[in-house]
Each structure stands twice: as C-alpha cells, then as structure tokens.
Chains A and B, each alone.
Chain A
Amino acid sequence: MIDAIVIENLSKTYQVPEREGGFKAAVRGFFRRRYKDVHAVQRVNFRIESGEIVGFLGPNGAGKTTTLKMLSGLLHPTGGRARVLDFTPWDRKREFLQAITLVMGQRNRLSWDIPAADSFLLNQAIYRLPDAAYKATLKELDELLELGPIMRKPVRNLSLGERMKCELAAGLLHRPRVLFLDEPTIGLDITAQARIRTFLQEYNRRTGATILLTSHYMADVTALCERIIMIHEGKLKYDGGINELTHRIAPFKLICVTLQDGADCDLSPYGTLAPGENGCKTLLQVPAGEVAAVTARILADLPVHDLTIEDPPIEHVIERAFNE
C-alpha cells in the first residue's frame, strides 16, 4: 500500500492582533498593533494509506480545520512538510487540485439562485470533464445520494440535508482520490446523517478513495473509521484504532443490570456504580479483565431480570483522552 497522505512536523503559527478592551486601547491599537502568536498546529506527524477512512478529532480550535486547509493547499505551513498523492499541496498544481476535494459542512459552494444541476455543469467546465465521464459520475452519484428531484430545484429552496447532498456531489464530480471532509454532517438530522455516512462508506468501497474526516458526531466516526487521529491545542494526542483507544483510556466495561420486580439489592460490592443511562436501572463499571467473573457472580447471587455488557460510550473515552 502506498501512503496517500504524509505529514512531517507540520506546523502553523498565526499572528493575531491583540489588545485590551476599552476605548483607549482601541485607539492605541489603531496606531501600534500588537500581535500574538497562535500556534494552531505544532509539529504534527502522521501518514494515511491510500483507501483508508480516518476520523480526525479534536475540540473546537484544536487545529483540525487548519490542518485540512494545509493538506488541501489553501494554507502555507510555517514549518514541516506534507505530501498528498505525492504533491506538495500548497503548490496548488492543477493535477493536484484535480485529484482532491475539500467539503466543508458550514460553507457552500453552490450558487444560491440556480438549481444544483446547473452548478454541476459549471464544475464540468472547471474540471474539464469529458461528457461521457461526467454523465457516468453524475448518474452514479444520483444513484447513491438520490439527487433526482432535488438537483433541479434552486438551491435556496432546499433543506439543509438536501443541500449537503448536493454539496457533496459537487465536490465529487471530478472523482477525487483524496477527500477532506470538514464536518460534513453538521446540523443534519439523524436520518440525513446516516444517509451521508452510508454514502461515504459506499463511495470509499467503490472508488478506493482516501477520506480524512472531522466530525463532532461520534456516530460518524464509529460507523466510518477504524482509525482516528486526535489533536488538541495543535498537538497530536492519539493516532490509532478506536478500540485500542478505548482499551487504553477506559479499560473497563459497563454492566447494566435490571433486577426482578421488587428486588432491591446493593450492587456496589461487584464494581463501581456509575450513573445509569438509557433506562438502565443500575450501571456497574468493571475492569475489562474481570467482566466474565463479575457477571457470573451477579447472575449467581442476585434475582436478575436482564443484564447487558457494553463498551464505555466513545464520547466519554474521547473526552477523557483530551483531558489526560
């Protein structure tokens, strides 16, 4: 396997004007600006193999978008190097731009007043796509995203979910081999999120495209990515499998116990009591290695009506990882 994305010691420092609040400071700031260095990305390293789907996680302001912008060639880094499909992104060579896409959930590229289908045609001209290839790709995207009626309505009349489908299609018409997706499901309802997820999975399976995706919805990440890369305050925090992260950060399982009606027993001797969720009466946190033994003891000792064993929720794992 070849690496689609390689970055080494990638860094980006912004200079941001800074001043105290108040009128005097504003006047002073007009004549003499003071700047503060903001280290948005600091010496980050990783490589992503061709065809991988990787979740790129971090709290707001962690440097995710900055990294994506450097990888898609919009920003020059202040240090380090990056190769995407063997191009240096910020050279912005035509061949490079033809081979990647960046879709940002919070920004739109489609023209507001005309149907998406017309904007697609403009993209055909911009990317110089031959008619046959363009039609084939559009047909395929139509199949996967069910664009049919929605791409013929003016974009301003579309719902958020419909618009996102069109935005994705617009970003994929030139069949990019690397996809940078910045919160592609933001603001969408559960059904629309699931649609987009299934689509990305299928697209990756069919085309073998590499996908690096940021999202605040863990469901996106667990459904799509086996591997995650976490950054916090511009620094790499974790790079590896989701399961490995869970083992490292939260090496325990949750046992949800529902006792038979009327039974009231103290479960604290079996493990740490955790706040119950999802209608679960009693939730026990038990070290991963002891789950089998503890479960056996509970079943033997107590009048159990129902018992399930779960992994700790990924949100909690991620949150703990950031606070580590």
Chain B
Amino acid sequence: MLKLFTAFLKINIQMTLAYRAETLTHILLNLMWLGWELLSLSIIFGNTATLGGWGPGQLIALLGVFRLVNTLMAALIWPNTEKFNSSIRDGSWDYALLQPVNSLFLVSFSRMVIWRVWDLVLAAILTIVGLSMSGGGTTLLNLLGFLALAVSGMLIIYSLWIVLIALTFWFTKFDNNVTILQALLDAGRYPATVYPLWLRLIVTFVVPIAVATTVPLQALRGDLNGLQVLLYLVIGAASFFFASRIWKAGIRKYSGASS
C-alpha cells in the first residue's frame, strides 16, 4: 500500500509540475484567504471577548483544525471526486475496477493536489499559535485525545464522502455530490457550541462534521471525559465501517447495471 501511495504521490507531483503558473497562483491565493479569515476573527473579537465561551487563541486553533480538514478536502477529496465523476461518465472507471488494487484506496488517493502542502503548514502553524495564545494547562493526555479525535474526525468526513460518491452508482448523474459535503463542512468553521442546541445536535450527530473540528479541540481544552472521547472514537470507526459497506454495495450495483 505504501509503495502504491508513493507511486501516486510521484505521478501527482509530475502532473503538478506540468503547470507552473497554476501552482504559483494557488499558493498566493491561499495566503490571501488566510489573511481574510484572520481579519474576520479580529473583527469579531474587536466587539466581544469570547464567542460561545471560546477565546481568541482557541478560535485561532479551531481555525487551524478547520483548515486542516479543509486542506484534506481540497487536496484529496475534491480532485478525486472530480476524477471519479468524470471516469464514471466517460467509462474509464472500468479500468479502475480492472486493477488488482482495493478500489476504495484507488478512488481516494489517485489524485492529490500537491501545492496544498503549504496549506498543511499554515494550518499547523495556526493550531500551534492558537494553542499557545490560549495559555497553558494542556496535559499530555489532552493532547493525545486531541490527536486521536482529529484522526477519527477526518475518518468521519472521509466516510461521509465515500457514501456521497457511492451514491453515484445508484444515480448516474450526481455531480454535485461533494458540494453537499462542503456546505456541511463550512458549518464547522465556528465552534459547534455557538449554534443553537437543535442545530448543534444536527451538526454533531446527524452529519458529524463538528466531530472533526470542534470535538478534537474540546478534548484539548479538557472539556471531555474519557467516556466521551471513547464514544467519538467508536463513532469514527463505525462510520468508516458502514461507508465501506455502502461502497462495496455500490460497486456491486455498478457491475450489475452499467453497459
């Protein structure tokens, strides 16, 4: 698997290098967006000291985690969806199925937007700066909880994505599958606790986006007890399990009906 991942990575770097101007523009655009987001945060805190109980440092850290998830979307999920949708339309998906590789792995990693690496660095810096701004008191256990929950949160988003693209097997034309996901994800930009309770429940449990952004930070703040952390980890594993089942059913459906 690792060898194949490296091979995909190489191919994608080669494809990126084929278009130089595009890469440079993207890096600049990203810096601009980051400035814009920090500006809007400073406007909010110019008017209020806390937002739903979260201070500026913690919100910057949240923005970091949010951008991390967003980078995952932009670097992997978007390009792979685009490729997947077009390969279903033009029939080259057949070639994907002919390869002796796990089809889920293939659909997830065959495209990578390499210049997003800068985003990852920015996201990490934001998270670290935000954390140090919000002061000490972070224990190693909290940090571990944060890391574990961040991984499981991404797994949940990834699972959601798998389900959405698997729907393409049932409805051949479903190109806006990931627009839905992005719209949901945007709700994770602010801590779920600023939303009214009913919306918070939807965002956390029905469509578990907050699980990927707010929850890891709550663990870092020490707001969660062990049982809650465990619960979220279980949700992560379960959602991946169900998503891969749906994916398999989708492939069966595809090979039953396409012509």
Give the B-binding residues of A (Cβ under 8 A): 14-15, 40, 65-66, 69, 72-76, 90, 92, 94, 97-98, 100-102, 104, 107-109, 111, 113-114, 118-119, 121-122, 124-128, 154
Contact = CB atoms under 8 A, between A and B. Distances in A.
A26 to B, nearest CB: 15
Nearest to B102: A94
B98 A107 contact: no
- Chain A binding site: helix, strand, loop or mixed by DSSP? mixed
B94 interface: yes
Contacts of B19: 113
B4 A107 contact: no
Contacts of B98: 72-74, 97, 100-102
A97 B95 CA distance: 11
Interface stretch (B6-14, B118-126, B176-184, B205-213): B6-14
Given A98-B100, A126-B4, 6 more contacts: A15-B257, A66-B259, A76-B256, A90-B255, A101-B98, A122-B8
Nearest to B5: A125
B255 A126 contact: no
B249 interface: no
B92 A107 contact: yes
B15 A114 contact: yes
B100 A118 contact: no
23 contacts: A15-B257, A40-B259, A73-B97, A75-B255, A90-B255, A94-B100, A97-B100, A102-B95, A104-B91, A104-B94, A107-B92, A107-B94, A107-B95, A109-B92, A113-B15, A113-B19, A122-B11, A125-B3, A126-B4, A126-B7, A126-B99, A126-B101, A128-B3
B26 interface: no
B248 to A, nearest CB: 11
Nearest to B256: A76
Contacts of B100: 94, 97-98, 126-127
A40 B256 CA distance: 13
Which 8 interchain pairs have the tightest Cβ spacing?
Answer: A125-B7, A97-B100, A109-B95, A94-B100, A113-B18, A125-B4, A114-B14, A113-B15
Contact of A97 (B6, B15, B99): B99
Contacts of B90: 107
- Chain B binding site: helix, strand, loop or mixed by DSSP? helix
B58 to A, nearest CB: 43
Contacts, number: 76
B173 interface: no
Contact of A121 (B10, B91, B95, B99): B10
Interface string B100-141: 110000000000000000000000000000000000000000
A49 B226 CA distance: 64
Contacts of B10: 118, 121
Nearest to A97: B100
Interface of B: 3-4, 6-8, 10-11, 14-15, 18-19, 90-92, 94-95, 97-101, 252, 255-259
Contacts of A74: 94, 97-98, 255, 258
Nearest to A106: B91
Contact of B18 (A65, A107, A114, A128): A114
Contacts of A40: 259
Contacts of B259: 14, 40, 65-66
A100 B99 CA distance: 10
A169 to B, nearest CB: 14
Nearest to B17: A114
Contacts of A127: 99-100
Nearest to B3: A125
A179 to B, nearest CB: 12
B172 to A, nearest CB: 11
B18 to A, nearest CB: 5
A111 B92 contact: no
Contact of B7 (A66, A111, A121): A121
B252 A118 contact: no
A293 B245 CA distance: 73
Given A75-B258, A97-B99, A114 B91 contact: no
B106 to A, nearest CB: 8
Given A76-B252, A94-B100, A122 B94 contact: no
A126 B252 CA distance: 22
B61 to A, nearest CB: 38
B94 A14 contact: no
Contacts of A126: 4, 7, 99-101
A16 B132 CA distance: 61
A111 B11 contact: yes
Contacts of B258: 74-75
A74 B94 CA distance: 7
A122 to B, nearest CB: 5
Nearest to A108: B92
A122 B7 contact: yes
A1 B165 CA distance: 45
Nearest to B259: A14
Nearest to B258: A75
Contacts of B7: 121-122, 124-126
Contacts of A107: 90-92, 94-95
Nearest to B110: A122
A104 B256 CA distance: 20
A119 B11 contact: yes
